[in-house]
Amino acid sequence: MPMIQVTMLEGRSVEQKRKLAQRLTDVMVEEAGAKREAIAVAFVEVSRESYATGGVLMADKK
């Protein structure tokens, strides 16, 4: 059972997450031969204060 976890900043709409789930699932079916019904996608949303790149919190970036 493939599990795809997407960690991203909060704020995406339900429709955006719906499309992402569909497309990520499609790729796993097409490229990895996974069964569609066995693929799980989890979205982990984090605040700008809890996410950093390059050692800098996203909240501190312009």
pLDDT score of 2? 95
CA dihedral 9, 12, 16, 20 (to 10 degrees): 20
Tokens 């809890």 map to which residue? 50
Q: Which CATH class is domain 3-60?
A: alpha beta
Q: Fill in the amino acid letter for 62.
A: K
Q: What is the 3-state secondary structure (H, E, C) of the chain?
A: CCEEEEEEECCCCHHHHHHHHHHHHHHHHHHHCCCHHHCEEEEEEECHHHCEECCEEHHHCC
Active site residues: 2
Query: 62 falls in which pLDDT band (50, 70, 90)?
Result: confident
For the entire predicted model, the pTM comes to 0.87
User: What are the pLDDT digits (tens) for 4-57?
Assistant: 999 999 999 999 999 999 999 999 999 999 999 999 999 999 999 999 999 999
